[in-house]
């Protein structure tokens, strides 16, 4: 089955209304997660504990009807705990594969920067190739496979900064901040009956799409027109990050390609079958903020990667 951009916009509107009623102030991050899912991307959410990162991810998976598994990252988590391992069965006198939680459609990796780099890297192949290699044998993952990882700010105790190669596998890095006073008040009123995480069934969150509709949703970006001028605009933004004097590392060609792909999905979310420069502008910051590395001199001047990316977005001329 096929799906029109108008239907994509209606689906996002319904999703935003449903989840926004239980996760206050989540509309922007929810839209970015929806765009990432459409283009087979992965999402990294950063924020202090208690701001609803995990809850938002669970609600998102539930409403899209995705099979979800969760990994709670700890310092002693091993790669086999994530991807699985071949275990010797004494009854059959042979090795059998015990699949890890990565064999799912939606993998929620909670507090990913609390586990060592060796375990973080276990997800590299899964995120890029949608497969895992165990003892030399390659096993394919679900075609709908998506990783949503949460992390605490790097200055918190007991965190391991994610390596650049791992960060580059995430399409977006979303900042989850505190809600405003009105949103926080509504959240307290809505969820004060229990001190634990609210039950999704009791909140009335149920799958909104069938499996066929989910697959059709992910085919829509291929039909969205991307003008060569818009593609060049994505390249100009990426090259500007490489040439900026305050940045030691800028966006890779892969990042520019992912930005253009995400812009096509963003256009569909506005019921358009063509990309405009504003689609690229809306996504540039979450695509760039975790990929650029500032120079030591800029760091001493207290410059932040986010402000530099905003400056670049304002300076690079958009096509008319």
Q: Which helix (H) or strand (E) holds 309?
A: helix 305-315
For the residues 72-85, what does the mean pLDDT come to?
A: 91
Task: Look at the block and give the residue holding tokens 């996002």.
Answer: 12
The whole-number pLDDT of residue 91 equals 83
Which of 55-69, 85-99, 145-159, 181-195 shows the lowest per-residue confidence on average (mean pLDDT)? 181-195
pLDDT digit string, tens, across residues 250-269: 999 999 999 999 999 999 99
Integer Cα distance of 150 and 173 in angstroms:
10
The residues that bridge with 173 in the sheet, in sequence order, are 44
Domain boundaries, the chain: 5-74+105-129+141-217, 224-315
For the residues 104-117, what does the mean pLDDT come to?
A: 91
**What does residue 46 show for φ and ψ, rounded to 5 degrees?**
-120, 135
Integer Cα distance of 8 and 159 in angstroms:
38
pLDDT at 201 over 90: no
The whole-number pLDDT of residue 88 equals 82
Any idea which fold 224-315 has? Helicase, Ruva Protein; domain 3 (1.10.8)
Count Cβ atoms within 10 A of the Cβ of residue 291 and give its class: 0-12 exposed, 13-18 middle, 19 or more buried: buried
pLDDT digit string, tens, across residues 139-184: 999 999 999 999 887 666 667 778 888 889 999 999 988 888 887 8
Integer Cα distance of 60 and 80 in angstroms:
27
The whole-number pLDDT of residue 203 equals 75
State the Cα torsion 255-260-262-264 to the nearest 10°. Answer: -170
The whole-number pLDDT of residue 31 equals 96
Q: Which span out of 43-52, 199-208, 280-289 was modeled with the highest average pLDDT?
A: 280-289
pTM listed for this prediction: 0.91
Task: Look at the block and give the residue holding tokens 């990783």.
Answer: 147
DSSP class of 222: G
Residue 107 Cα to chain centre, angstroms: 11
The whole-number pLDDT of residue 196 equals 62
Any idea which fold 5-74+105-129+141-217 has? Rossmann fold (3.40.50)
- Sign of the CA dihedral running 55, 259, 170, 208: positive
The whole-number pLDDT of residue 158 equals 66
Residue closest to 172 by CA, chosen among 101, 244, 265: 265
The whole-number pLDDT of residue 187 equals 77
Q: Within 10 Å of residue 287's Cβ, how many Cβ atoms?
A: 26
Q: Which span out of 8-22, 69-83, 275-289 was modeled with the highest average pLDDT?
A: 275-289
Q: Which helix (H) or strand (E) holds 132?
A: strand 131-134
The whole-number pLDDT of residue 193 equals 64
The whole-number pLDDT of residue 20 equals 87
Chain mean pLDDT for the chain = 90
Integer Cα distance of 87 and 95 in angstroms:
5
Task: Look at the block and give the residue holding tokens 């507090």.
Answer: 111
Copy the structure tokens of residue 312.
């670049």
Buried residues in 55-73 as b, exposed as e (16+ CB within 10 A): bbbbbbbbbbbbebebbeb
**In this prediction, what percent of the chain has a pLDDT beyond 70?**
97
For the residues 98-116, what does the mean pLDDT come to?
A: 92
pLDDT at 86 over 80: yes
- Sign of the CA dihedral running 158, 164, 165, 166: positive
The whole-number pLDDT of residue 159 equals 73
Helix axes 305-315 and 277-288, enclosed angle (nearest 10): 160
């Amino acid at each position: 089955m096929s799906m029109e951009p108008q239907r994509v916009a209606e689906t996002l509107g319904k999703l935003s209304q449903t989840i926004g009623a239980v996760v206050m102030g989540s509309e922007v991050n929810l839209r970015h997660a929806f765009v990432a899912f459409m283009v087979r991307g992965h999402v990294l959410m950063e924020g202090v504990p208690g701001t609803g990162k995990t809850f938002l991810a669970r609600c998102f998976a539930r409403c899209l009807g995705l099979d979800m598994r969760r990994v709670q990252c700890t310092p002693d988590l091993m790669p086999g705990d994530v991807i699985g391992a071949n275990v010797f069965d004494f009854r059959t006198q042979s090795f059998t594969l015990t699949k890890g939680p990565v064999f799912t459609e939606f993998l929620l990796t909670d507090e990913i920067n609390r586990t060592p780099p060796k375990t973080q890297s276990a997800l590299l192949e899964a995120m890029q190739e949608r497969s895992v290699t165990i003892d030399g044998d390659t096993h394919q993952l679900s075609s709908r496979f998506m990783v949503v990882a949460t992390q605490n700010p790097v200055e918190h105790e007991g965190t391991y900064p994610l390596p650049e190669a791992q960060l580059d596998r995430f399409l977006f890095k979303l900042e989850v901040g505190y809600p405003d006073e009105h949103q926080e008040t509504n959240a307290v009123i809505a969820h004060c009956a229990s001190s634990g995480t609210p039950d999704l069934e009791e909140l009335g969150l149920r799958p909104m799409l069938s499996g066929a509709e989910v697959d059709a949703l992910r085919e829509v970006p291929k039909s969205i027109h991307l003008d060569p001028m818009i593609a060049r605009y994505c390249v100009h933004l990426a090259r500007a990050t490489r040439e900026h004097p305050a940045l030691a590392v800028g966006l890779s060609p892969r990042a520019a390609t992912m930005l253009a792909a995400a812009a096509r999905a963003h256009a569909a979310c506005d019921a358009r079958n063509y990309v405009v420069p504003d689609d690229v502008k809306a996504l540039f910051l979450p695509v760039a903020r975790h990929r650029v590395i500032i120079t030591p001199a800029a760091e001493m001047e207290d410059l932040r990667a986010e402000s530099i990316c905003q400056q670049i977005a304002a300076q690079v001329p958009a096509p008319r």
